[in-house]
Structure 1
Amino acid sequence: MHKKVAALLCLSLALAESPRSLAQAYQAKPKLAVILVIDQFRGDYLDRFRTSFTTPNGFNLFLKKGAYFNSCYYDYANLKTAPGHATIGTGSYTDGHGIGSNEWWDLSRSTDHPISSVEDERYRLTGTFDDLPVPPLPAVDPKAPRVGSSPFNLKATTIGDEVRLATNGESKLFGVSLKDRAAILPSGQTANAAFWIDQSTGRFVTSTYYMPQLPEWATKFNKGPRVAQAVKDAGLDDTTQFYAMVGRTPAANSYELAFAEALIDGEQLGQHPTTDVLTVSLSANDILGHQLGPDSDAEKEMVLALDRDLNTFFSDLDKKVGLANVLVAFTADHGVAPIVRESAKLGVQSASLDLEAFSDAINESLNKHFATTKKTKFFLSALELPNLALDPRAFEALHITEADAEAAVVDAIPAAIATVGPPPQPLNNPTTTPEGSRAYSETRIDAAPRLAFVRSRVDLAAGKIPDTEFGHLIQHSYTDHGGWYVTVFPTAYQMEYLNGIQTTHFSPWSYDRHVPLGFYGADIIPGYYRNKVAPVDIAATFAAILGVNAPSSSVGHILTQIIKDSK
């Protein structure tokens, strides 16, 4: 009897000391890796709305069951959609992956419009017309070729690419979003496909870079009832502006997640001998946020509705693949500034910068400086902060080099910003309270625009940037895309005036850089973590867990504190 007890004791000790099953992409442990990105989802949202989350597998999947970091900040300055998604996938910043903005001028490719970060005229869209019962807008010729999209401009691999490379292509990799750049850039160069919507009809499309036509399951989804249901759920009778109208409502998130579920089923993700990878970027929050800002009631409703939609998505994933077999990371591509009048109401020196008036003032100064005989326009159209695009043709006609041209613009900026000034009238006048103190019924007078940083592209390329934390943010944002330009950052809580858009994101200030970061999976140690981290850490951490190379330009840290020991 004693021998049997001793044997059982030894067996139990051996089992207790045996190594835990090690996560490896090569053995499909986990079966599926998911990177969830919510466009324009600022880092304070989950703490702000936390008490209102009631579902087990929505945001609580990360807050209560997973590892959540509430101090996650990007370490670069050009906080826009395309750079953010490229950063998440590659684990590097613009100076590593090359994507500096959503679009930029490349006069060798087009002289009449900026080039999209994923535009690629070598390919065509597929699924736009041939497979769709709903006709395009009348102004669009159904037989005209439509320029496709690809990850051509992405200079680095993504974590999905590295999984595909490590498994000799056995693993599948897909990206989904309403936006082409948000589907393409985080998934990477080797993706089996990236899917996004045709903005008028809402049907999902892809590019011939990936495949000559949509797979059968995607065509079935497009022809099914889900588009009409999304339009109805958005409170519309019909629309030929799906992206703009449905896209700004919670119905868009539900619609996109339904497509992601159809993709998981159609491509049998999580059912292969190696780990599959899926990136999902939800765009609705960004479309609404630009219009109504981060502090609106509609924003809160959007977040709470998304909590319910995520609960449905992850609960269904649990049934199909098993959440124990899934590794998930959750973050955002950027934050957002409050609406100028809202921050001004509380006394923050907030301002709107009229870029048209600003560039006109610089043009006037340059014409005087170069003694031109006519009113030359030295900027390309569609100006956006932070990189103001110069027209090299205008300068070259005067035999002016890029360095001299950009230096002249930099010199002209201080006087130009002074001429713009604050809006001609405050939104509301000050009043006096019964106690005699000064109060403001709605907002204080808007401040005059001020600039925090100005630098030429030539100087940025030469590294002429302060060796400070702020300077490092700027250096990480450098790109050679965009031709001649001058980088301009106003001070915090100031932004360009955008017609019909009340707030935006593009800056090095904390409200644009602060995003959530959460992880869930069998290899993740649950907890609420307060140490400062960055979205570039996702790729490095996933690479460590999956046992693959980090992406080619990865600079992130492995978050070892959240990874379970293999012993």
Structure 2
Amino acid sequence: MPNSKTNTLRRLILNTLIASTLAISIVPVLADNKAASTSPKQPKLVVVLVVDGLPQEQIQRYRDQFGQGGFRRLLDQGAWFSNAHQAHGITVTAVGHAAVLTGAYPYQHGIINNNWIDPTTLAAMYCTQDNAHTYIDEETKSDDGTSPANLRVSTLGDELRYASGNRSKVVTVSGKDRGAILLAGKTGTAYIFMKKSGNFASSSYYMQSHPQWQQAYHVGKPQDRFYGKTWTPLLADAAYAGDADDQIVAPQQADGANRFPYLYSSKSGKPDAEYYGKLFTGPYLDEMTLDFARAAVAGEQLGRNPAGVPDILGVSLSSHDYVNHSFGPESRMSHDHLQRLDRLLASFFDSLDKSVGLDNTLVVLTADHGFPNVPEFAQSRKFESQRLDSSKLMSALNQHLSDKFGAEKIAYKWSAPNVLLDYKLIEQKGLKREEVENSAARFLMSYNGVAQVYTRTQLETGAMPDSRIAKLMQRAWHRQISGDIVVVTKPYWQFGSGNRGTTHGSPYSYDSNVPLMIMGKSWIKPGAYGQYAEVMDIAPTLAHLLRVRPPSASEGRVLTETLP
């Protein structure tokens, strides 16, 4: 029989073992609890800013002149990707905006251009056109953008509202209907600048009447405060020394209307549609867009949701696109506009800090597409750059096909950069579809200014060349609504005619390389990142941070390198 001393010793050893075991089992739990307690809270507000028509190179070229609170704040306090791209082949406003919060490519989301020809009905289709809906208390034309009916997939905002039981709010605002509508998705609310009245209005797709805060915003007609004002350079003349000669990028008009000082007025002598239309080219529409966004934050209590769930504010700033179209990204006007936008963003961030708190806010800034140089400026730098007249191209193509196959107008519609073939005519003539496609492609490949041509058969079967350009064009092509022959110009060439301004839409880096900046103190590790990234990565990254499922067709990646 063991004595009492032995029993005491046994109990001491047993208690020690139990205590050690408990300590070992408790350590991971404590570690897990500590990790949970230090994991970042969700942002109260996600602000998605899209600058229409902003090439990445302009951020780099002019960054030393930015103030402290706008682009520089994003560059210094956020994650900035220098090698970010709109990774599809048709780089235009609608396609780029659709990419931002869907994380999807056109072959899935269905927004293949700003406008296209419906292959079945041959009717012209505008990207956000929906004749079932009208603007609220505003004139509505048949091809105005009033709903996201043509968007075939969900957005981040749609997924957030689903996850929150529709308690999260998603509000977007833009000068362009497509800029607001394609960010809002199916369940958000879009507000658009009306060129006839100068108001920001929504459509019957979203609501039957405007909320009180929207009506209160317009009582004093804030859109009229710029009438009679001029847009003049913000900085000293020396700051613009490296910019292109005005006469090269935009030959002066007889009335001098395309030169500084740029006057905002109208022939009627009072604010009207002419005046409101002029506001798109210059800084004042962006100023109004950001002012209306502030009103939306206050009126909808964005970032202070009573349900305690995150909200999304989408702001598409339209004017840089108009300035670059008119004068080119190398111009003094574009340079100055970006500096003015920088100061407007600084003021907007300050107001967000006061109303919501930037520590509670996750900010993303990107662009829907970049911009090439004005062809005449590119020529002055010894690049082969010209405008390719699509009407002449179609005429020459049809003549070739008629000579070869004995049928008139086989190529019967142009919907840049697509050619639509008349397959019914091809069948009636007993011709082989693939033979006609290949003949058209061979002819177009020999046409001056054309770099690549892809046929429907290639695109449907995936029999594409192993190249970056082919991959981007494949992503941009939707088998149900795109054309039958896809044409890619040579670098620095562009579809169009005339002798001034520039346009975009190609798969080349000057059109695809755009800013991608994400700022949020609790969620994002600041720094300059050289890794390849896509605008399609924004939606899955935000979905990860908001703890919701990615949008339905998202193919982007989570930008894990930016996460603390």
Which aligned pairs between 1:237-276 and structure 2 lie closer than 5 A? Answer: 237=265, 238-242=271-275, 244-272=277-305, 273-276=308-311
1:195 counterpart SS class? strand
Unpaired runs of at least 5, structure 1:
1-12, 130-141, 418-448
On the 8 A contact 1:123/1:148 being kept in 2, the answer is: no
Deviation sequence 1:500-536 (CA, Å, 0-9, x none): 7621111111101100111111211111222221111
Separation in 2 of the partners of 1:84 and 1:146?
20
CA distance in 1, matches of 2:226, 2:425: 48
Contact 2:445 2:451 (C-alpha < 8 Å) held by counterparts? no
Which residue of 2 is the match for residue 182 of structure 1?
A: 179
How far the C-alpha of 1:499 sits from its partner, in A, is 4.0
Distance 1:245 1:179 in 2: 14
TM-score (norm 2): 0.82
Secondary structure in 2 aligned to 1:64?
helix
Indicate how the Cα distance of structure 1 residues 362 and 530 shifts in structure 2: closer, same or farther if over 3 A, else same.
Answer: same
TM-aligned CA deviation for residue 348 of structure 1: 1.6
Q: What SS does the corresponding residue of 2:162 show, helix, strand or coil?
A: helix
Aligned to 1:456: 455
Aligned with residue 441 of structure 2, among 372, 389, 410: 410
8 Å CA contact 1:378–1:394 kept in 2: the answer is: no
Q: For 1:209-245, what per-residue CA distance to the aligned partner results, in whole angstroms no more than 9, with x for missing partners?
A: 1111222222333342311024444532334235641
Q: What is the CA–CA distance in structure 1 between the aligned matches of 2:75 and 2:343, rounded to whole Å?
A: 15
1:249-299 CA-to-partner distances (Å, cap 9, x unmatched) read: 111110111111111111111111100011111110001111110100000
Which residue identity does 1:454 align to in structure 2? Answer: V
Provide the rounded CA distance (Å) in 1 between the counterparts of 2:218 and 2:143: 19
| Segment of structure 1 superposing worse, 215-224 or 298-307 | 215-224
**355-364 or 405-414, larger mean C-alpha shift:** 405-414
Q: Which residue of 2 aligns with 1:423?
A: none
Q: Is the 8 A contact 1:73 1:535 kept in 2?
A: yes
Tell me the equivalent position of 1:556: 556
Once the two structures are overlaid, the 10-residue window that deviates more, 199-208 or 325-334, is 199-208
The equivalent residue for 1:43 is: 56
TM-score normalized by structure 1? Answer: 0.81
Percent of pairs with identical residues = 33
Residue 173 of structure 1 aligns with an amino acid whose one-letter code is V
Decide whether aligned partners of structure 1 residues 14 and 558 sit closer, same or farther in structure 2, where only a CA change above 3 A counts.
Answer: closer
Q: Distance in 2 between matches of 1:457 and 1:236?
A: 47
* Residue 306 of structure 1: aligned partner: 341
The answer for the alignment partner of 1:479 in structure 2 is 478
Contact residue 117 and residue 415 of structure 2 kept, 8 A:
no
Q: Is the Cα contact below 8 Å between 1:78 and 1:477 reproduced in 2?
A: yes
Aligned residue in 1 for 2:325? 290
| Residue correspondences, number | 495
Q: How does 1:282-431 map to 2 (within 5 A)?
A: 282-372=317-407, 376=409, 378-380=411-413, 383-390=414-421, 403=434, 406-414=437-445, 417=447
Asked whether the equivalents of residues 126 and 143 of structure 2 are also in contact (C-alpha less than 8 Å), the reply is no
What corresponds to 2:169 in structure 1? Answer: 172
8 Å CA contact 1:187–1:279 kept in 2: the answer is yes
Task: Tell me if the contact between 2:131 and 2:142 (Cα under 8 Å) persists in the aligned partners.
Answer: no
Superposed CA offset, 1:54-82 (max 9, x none): 232x1122111212111212222111111
Structure 1 residue aligned with 2:496 = 497
For the residues of structure 2 that align with 1:281 and 1:399, how far apart are their CA atoms?
Answer: 50
- Whose Rg is larger? 2
Q: Describe the SS at the equivalent of 1:88.
A: helix
Paired residues of 1:23 and 1:545 also in contact (CA < 8 A): no
Q: Is it true that 1:154 corresponds to 2:151 in the alignment? A: yes
| Aligned residue in 2 for 1:205 | 201
* Structure 1 letter corresponding to 2:443: A
User: 1 CA distance for matches of 2:154 and 2:532?
Assistant: 25
Taking a change above 3 Å as real, the CA distance of residues 43 and 209 of structure 1, as seen in their structure-2 partners, is same
Match of 1:100 in 2: 112
In the TM superposition, residue 168 of structure 1 has moved relative to its aligned partner by 1.1
The runs of 5 or more residues in structure 2 that have no matched partner are 1-29, 231-262, 266-270
Correspondence for 2:254 = none
Aligned CA-pair RMSD:
2.6
**1:217 matches 2:216:** no
Q: How does 1:12-51 map to 2 (within 5 A)?
A: 19-23=36-40, 29-51=42-64
SS of corresponding position for 1:476: helix
Contact kept, 8 Å, 1:327 with 1:519, in 2: the verdict is yes
Q: Give the distance between the partners of 2:272 and 2:559, measured in 1 at CA.
A: 45
Q: Distance in 1 between matches of 2:299 and 2:431?
A: 57
More helix by share: 2
Tell me which of 24, 33, 55 is aligned to 2:68: 55
Partner Cα distance (2:112, 2:146) in 1: 17
| C-alpha contact (below 8 Å) 2:82/2:515 kept by paired residues | yes
Corresponding residue SS for 2:531:
coil
CA distance in 2, matches of 1:378, 1:88: 34
